């Protein structure tokens, strides 16, 4: 084992990490927004809306993420061509981002739904008694309390998403893991670079999980 080549490769590896972090940030943002919408639909009194949201969540929670990434890599250009009638180039980053948002939203939905259901029903009744609409009650009263309770779970799911970003190697996106693997292959030291990449993923994930535990204690009412 010779790890002496790793310091010289750090700039290239950092570029890959930037791609990973950007994919993570945009993926979490999009997933939380879509997941919140799905959670509200699942709690809707409209059977059709609740059924559609439930089917969406159950479907994406029952298939592998790798399959979703590969499927969207080929499906997104096809859908755009069907809509616009032209061949629109779509990079691996955009297709992977769509895949992560669509897939992870199903998991964030269940977290948000549990958070909303943990709020006493009296809160909604009190808000509506003050003249608020359902949307205002949800936005100003219910969701702020629910997000406070479910923040640790949302962050824990984000750590899982950070680890899952390594699956984008399947479509050739140059994330941190793919940058480490390709650089190791070029200089003939694949094992050393993969071990280093594994250590980085472990350190980041472990440190983040410890911060989540501390945050959970602070947010506990």
Does residue 83 or residue 107 have the better pLDDT? 107
Burial (CB count <10 Å: 0-12, 13-18, 19+), residue 142: buried
C-alpha of 15 from chain center: 20
Residues near 135 by Cβ (< 8 Å), separated by ≥ 6?
Answer: none
- Inform me whether the pLDDT recorded for 87 exceeds 80: no
Mean pLDDT score, 90-116: 91
Best CA proximity match to 201, nearest among 161, 174, 144: 161
* Residue 166 binned pLDDT confidence (cut-offs 50, 70, 90): very high
Q: Is residue 22 part of a domain?
A: yes
- Inform me whether the pLDDT recorded for 89 exceeds 70: no
Angle between helices 6-42 and 47-60 (to 10 degrees): 150
In this prediction, what percent of the chain has a pLDDT beyond 70? 96
Q: Is residue 85 part of a domain?
A: yes
Residues near 18 by Cβ (< 8 Å), separated by ≥ 6?
Answer: none
- Inform me whether the pLDDT recorded for 57 exceeds 80: yes
Best CA proximity match to 95, nearest among 114, 112, 75: 75
The pTM score is: 0.87
* Residue 95 binned pLDDT confidence (cut-offs 50, 70, 90): confident
Q: Is residue 1 part of a domain?
A: no
Does residue 84 or residue 106 have the better pLDDT? 106
Q: Which residue has the tokens 């993926």?
A: 27
Q: Is residue 106 part of a domain?
A: yes
Does residue 192 or residue 90 have the better pLDDT? 192
Mean pLDDT score, 4-28: 91
Tell me which residue range forms the domain holding 198. Answer: 6-219
Quote the pLDDT of residue 90.
72
Best CA proximity match to 109, nearest among 50, 23, 24: 50
b/e per residue, 47-86, with b = 16+ CB within 10 A? eeeeeebeebbeebeeeeeeebbbebbeebbeebeeeeee
Helix, strand, coil fractions of the chain, as percent rounded to 5 = 85, 0, 15
pLDDT digits (tens, 9 = 90+) for 120-157: 888 888 888 888 888 888 888 888 888 888 888 899 99
Quote the pLDDT of residue 139.
84
- Inform me whether the pLDDT recorded for 1 exceeds 90: no
Does residue 76 or residue 146 have the better pLDDT? 146
The greatest distance separating any two alpha carbons of the chain, rounded to the nearest whole angstrom, comes to 70
- Rounded to 5 degrees, φ, ψ at 3 are -100, 15
Residues near 150 by Cβ (< 8 Å), separated by ≥ 6?
Answer: 111, 112, 114, 115
Domain with residue 153: its CATH number is 1.10.3720.10
Quote the pLDDT of residue 84.
72
Quote the pLDDT of residue 215.
84
Average pLDDT, the chain: 88
- Inform me whether the pLDDT recorded for 30 exceeds 90: yes
Structural domains of the chain, count: 1
């Amino acid at each position: 084992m010779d790890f002496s080549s790793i310091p010289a490769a750090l700039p290239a590896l950092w570029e890959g990490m930037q791609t990973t972090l950007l994919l993570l940030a945009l993926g979490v943002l999009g997933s939380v927004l879509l997941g919140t919408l799905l959670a509200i639909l699942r709690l809707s009194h409209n059977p059709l809306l609740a059924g559609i949201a439930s089917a969406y969540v159950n479907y994406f929670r029952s298939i592998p993420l790798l399959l979703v990434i590969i499927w969207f890599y080929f499906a997104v250009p096809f859908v755009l061509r069907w809509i616009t009638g032209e061949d629109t180039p779509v990079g691996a980053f955009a297709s992977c981002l769509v895949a992560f948002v669509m897939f992870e939203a199903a998991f964030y939905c269940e977290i948000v739904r549990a958070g909303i259901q943990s709020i006493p029903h009296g809160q909604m009744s009190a808000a509506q008694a003050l003249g608020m609409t359902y949307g205002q009650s949800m936005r100003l009263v219910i969701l702020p309390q629910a997000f406070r309770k479910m923040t640790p779970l949302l962050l824990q799911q984000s750590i899982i998403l950070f680890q899952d970003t390594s699956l984008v190697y399947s479509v050739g996106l140059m994330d941190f893991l793919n940058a480490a693997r390709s650089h190791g292959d070029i200089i003939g030291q694949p094992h050393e670079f993969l071990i280093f990449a594994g250590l980085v993923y472990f350190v980041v994930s472990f440190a983040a999980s410890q911060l989540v535990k501390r945050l959970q204690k602070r947010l506990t009412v």
